[in-house]
Structure 1
């Protein structure tokens, strides 16, 4: 919610789960592509970007209430 403020009606638990999933997928993908190794600071930045991307996709594809 810090990086994507606004009126998100997801709830705290769903936001946390989607953030974790996005971070894991982005971390795996970055290591698979050879962009960084485990434990490098770039992995943390990739995880943050992945979490924000998953939350943005969720906001984009959920219907408005």
Structure 2
């Protein structure tokens, strides 16, 4: 994972596109999609939730429209 926010943002933007809109993903399924890309699934999930790319409730995730993402690349 890149250490700079700007580079991390680019990777997260690419990664979140692997998830469909209007679909609920249990944490285990989300991990199965992320793991081939990077071993640290927890950090990537947390980052995507933090940027509001994914919504999480009771370990169920859903993709959020790009217009609602929190863009912070400082």
Q: Give the TM-score of the pair, scaled to structure 1.
A: 0.30
> Looking at CA atoms only, which structure, 1 or 2, has the larger radius of gyration?
1
Q: Give the TM-score of the pair, scaled to structure 2.
A: 0.27
Bigger fraction of residues in strand = 2
